[in-house]
Structure 1
Amino acid sequence: MPETTDTRTTAERTLLIKGATVLTMDPELGDLTTGDILVTGDRITAVGPDLDDRVSADTEVVQARGMIAVPGLIDTHMHAWQTPLKGLYAHGWTGDDYQSQVFYLREHFRPEDIYDATFSGTVQMLDAGVTGVLDFCHNVMSPEGAEAGLRAHRATGQRALFAYGMLGSFGAPPEDHAWRLDHVRRLHEEVNTGGDGLLRVGMALGSIEYGSMDRITKEVALARELGLRMSVHQNPPGQIRALHEAGLLDSDIVPAHANSADDGELALLARCGGGISFTPEGEFGGGRSMTILNRAHRAGASPSLGIDTHARVSIDLFAAMRLTYLLMRNVDATTEREAGRWPLERHPGVPLVQPRDILAYATVNAAAALGLGDDLGRLTPGRLADIVLIDTEPYGVALGDPAAHVVLQTTPRDVDTVVVGGRIRKRDGRLTDLDPTEAGAATRRVRERVFAEAAAHGGPVPDLGPVR
């Protein structure tokens, strides 16, 4: 890894991002066509047109003219342990395909595989401007596996909510559930109480269709006793209503997918201040209904976005934003055509969203989903300094709303600078203290170990190809 020579503590560091187009995502502060962001320690302390008089001699300055500053992107549904399985589900079609081609492999992951996979995934996310993640780790097969995932997040320094998977092996005995509950309690004391705030433990509730509401009730009870954020896969219809009827639904549970949710369930979510994490590339590619995006937005069930699995798509939240925008426009257009309103005309509420709304999904809404709505998601004084600078050169910024440039014109290659908690993690297009080649090596190690283990047990093994 590249060495860092900055020996100052976080509290002693000051950073000035100078001359950027600043999208604060704050309706009162608005955008700054040319603005500065001052960071002291891990917090933003000032945002304005010219802050030179606020800095000291040892302030680190990032010249950001020609760049767009946005809050750090947050992925609210990612399975980091599946990072080395990149492309394995490219030809997948059915749920059975996923079980037989991807998910069965979790039984062959050892703690060192969880570490390497999580390390590789978080390095790639930081490189792509994703400063925060809800890592839905439904591959906790032992206490050591969970702890390995946590160590990897500490090593990379991404802001992470490690959602501890409560779903064990199918058909596992009751004691498998008991040790998970005990382990979550212990990790809460170690990580959430004694940590630096970058890494927190949450809970990935067991899927309702594979378990029971009794088990889910025990999980939610413990999470609320400890103040943990939760997420749950919501695939079959009616599960949001089932959580509500069991007295469990609240804003601290983030359903993922929920494509089958009806309008009544969306109203229940909105009433408690909750939202849904959508993974549009996987959901759309998997044939799910995408009208949920528009319906959730209209209902006030705050949408946020995730990649879900690298086994299917790339770690690219810009692509997810772009597809979400186009899907929502297409839903509107389809509704208009079916009502006989063609060619398209504008009228109140149609089209539903603009690119800035989609950027809010990946920043403002996502921060709320992680329970950090007061600390992240906007570039305003007092908030944590998770910041991404997007380089618009050499081809120039798009005309019109700069948020449209971010959502519709940007790729991870355009991410020039990434700041997490006041620390520069990427600058001039290169990670500062993490080596992408190490992430690639970690991916190869997992593939070699896991597929060898799977082959030894008679499982299918993909062709790893000539590249090693």
Structure 2
Amino acid sequence: MPETNANESRLLIKGATVLTMDPTLGDLTTGDILIVGDRISAVAAELSDPQAEVIDARGMIAIPGLIDTHMHAWQTPLKGLHGAGWTFDDYQSRVFYLREHFGVEDIHDATLAGSIEMLDAGVTGVLDFCHNVMSPQHAEAALRAHRGTGQRTLWAYGMLSTLDGSLQDDAWRLEHIREMRKETGDGGLLRIGMALASIERGSMDQITTEIGLARELGMQMTVHQNPAGQIRELHQAGLLGGDIVPAHSNAADNEELELIADCGGSISFTPECEFAGGRSMTVLNRAHRAGVASSLGIDTPARVPIDMFNAMRLTFMLMRSVEAVDEREAGRYPLTRRPGTPMVEPRHMLEYATVNGARAIGLGDDLGRLAPRQLADIVLINPEPYGVALGDPAAHVVLRTQPRDVDTVIVGGAVRKRDGKLTDLDRDDAGAATRRVRERIFADVESAPQGVHQ
């Protein structure tokens, strides 16, 4: 066991159904979790520690904290502005263009609101893809918000300058990201990553420079990957690696998926936005079969709610639907289990949102499982008053749980939510921050959407 300091906090979770997501430990029908400092010290059927504060988790389900690997937190106040039936062009012209109206305090307040809502919904970790870095002050305001909420964050510094790529003013961004990396370092809840410029909007020289700096500084990267062939292009340029997390990749072919799997990489899928936007979803199944460490994200709160449980649920349904289509077209229906058919289960979705999410944000060795020496990011789900579903508890988490069922949230050993209430943050503060942003940005827009000042 790791050495512990006598002055470190000690917390003992008692009597939960523990889904460790650890292949050695498996599930515990009834189990305890001992946390010392910011890490899990022990997981077993019965533990005791007279010095520890006790959380009575009888009847609850303990899971690793959920990790969103593709979120634009700055768009939180724009919730509902992106219509369900809109196209990507609609998003660019009606939502994304608003970024130039966001001042420094707008970025702070929007990020604050999004982070609070995520924590409340059991999202302990996030890759915040911030493609609204219009000045160094904007970047620093976003970091200030994340520090204030204490969510475990990989904040990806957006390198996108203009949508059409016409203004290549990355020099100040590259210099600033180097300075910020020195300030944040490798440890702690807040780390700096890089959100690369979209490949189709910038030059390969620009992308090469960005990736080179990120690797020099030891930072995780992410990129919007939409057109076909870009993964192959990165590979051919010698740039593809497991430290780059493409988002979406709906048009990736099987060879490209194998390239990602071969380098130990992950793709962040955002099924609610992708499916509603009319994209092909067969990539989910093809990536699963290829061994890609798929992870999940919400993408933009302007379109869908902050609800990783729903993201897991929809992903499962989509993947089962694709499997059924494949079987029918092959003359094998109804669905039956047979060799060579890796039929997805709800537990796979929970793996996407925990184990694989941890890998995507560069913490695969330290996060995503409930096991000794792991960082203590834990969510307790309370199925009452209606009761837990029969069968696999992982199926209850994925298919039946909603954010309102999140009873307790622990990040790095600190209790952030307990008995259904945030401990040191306020939901009203998130709402007030959203209202402030709307009042400021829509004052500069000729026709504000109905209700934004309410």
The interval holding the TM-score normalised by the smaller chain is: over 0.9
Which residue does the alignment assign to 2:267? 276
What is the one-letter code of the residue matched to 1:85?
Answer: L
Tell me the CA shift for residue 16 of structure 1: 0.3
Aligned pairs for 1:262-301 (under 5 A) are 262-301=253-292
Which residue does the alignment assign to 1:73? 66
CA contact (8 A) 1:329 1:351 kept: no
Which residue does the alignment assign to 1:20? 16
Q: Does 1:366 align with 2:357?
A: yes
Q: Cα RMSD between the aligned structures?
A: 1.5
Query: For residues 419 and 25 of structure 1, what CA distance do their matches in structure 2 show?
Result: 17
Query: For residues 164 and 281 of structure 2, what CA distance do their matches in structure 1 show?
Result: 33
Q: Could you tell me which of 129, 135, 145 is aligned with 1:136?
A: 129
Which residue does the alignment assign to 2:100? 107
Question: Which is worse superposed, 67-76 or 166-175?
Answer: 166-175
Aligned pairs for 1:199-218 (under 5 A) are 199-218=190-209
CA contact (8 A) 2:165 2:202 kept: no
Tell me the CA shift for residue 91 of structure 1: 3.9
Aligned pairs for 1:20-419 (under 5 A) are 20-52=16-48, 55-57=49-51, 59-170=52-163, 176-192=169-185, 197-350=188-341, 352-419=343-410
Query: For residues 225 and 401 of structure 2, what CA distance do their matches in structure 1 show?
Result: 30
CA contact (8 A) 1:294 1:352 kept: no
Question: Which is worse superposed, 228-237 or 90-99?
Answer: 90-99
Tell me the CA shift for residue 171 of structure 1: 6.1
Aligned in 2, Cα 1:389/1:10: closer, same or farther, shift over 3 Å?
A: farther
CA displacement 1:79-138 (0-9 Å, x = unmatched)? 000000001012442221011110000011011000000000000000000000000000
Query: For residues 79 and 163 of structure 2, what CA distance do their matches in structure 1 show?
Result: 24
Query: For residues 100 and 173 of structure 1, what CA distance do their matches in structure 2 show?
Result: 17
Query: For residues 316 and 430 of structure 2, what CA distance do their matches in structure 1 show?
Result: 31
State the SS of the aligned residue for 1:265.
helix
Query: For residues 33 and 290 of structure 1, what CA distance do their matches in structure 2 show?
Result: 35
Tell me the CA shift for residue 381 of structure 1: 0.3
Aligned length: 450
Tell me the CA shift for residue 211 of structure 1: 0.8
Tell me the CA shift for residue 175 of structure 1: 6.6
State the SS of the aligned residue for 2:201.
coil
Tell me the CA shift for residue 387 of structure 1: 0.2
Tell me the CA shift for residue 11 of structure 1: 5.9
Tell me the CA shift for residue 283 of structure 1: 0.4
CA contact (8 A) 1:254 1:274 kept: yes
Tell me the CA shift for residue 174 of structure 1: 6.3
Which residue does the alignment assign to 2:425? 434
Tell me the CA shift for residue 25 of structure 1: 0.4
Please list every run of at least 4 consecutive aligned residues from structure 1 whose deviation after the TM superposition is greater than 3 angstroms: 170-175
Stretches of structure 1 lacking an aligned partner (at least 5 in a row)? 1-8
Tell me the CA shift for residue 10 of structure 1: 11
Question: Which is worse superposed, 338-347 or 302-311?
Answer: 338-347
Which residue does the alignment assign to 1:464? 451
What is the one-letter code of the residue matched to 2:435?
Answer: R
CA displacement 1:204-224 (0-9 Å, x = unmatched)? 000011111110000000000
TM-score with structure 2 length normalisation?
0.97
Report percent identity of matched pairs. Answer: 70
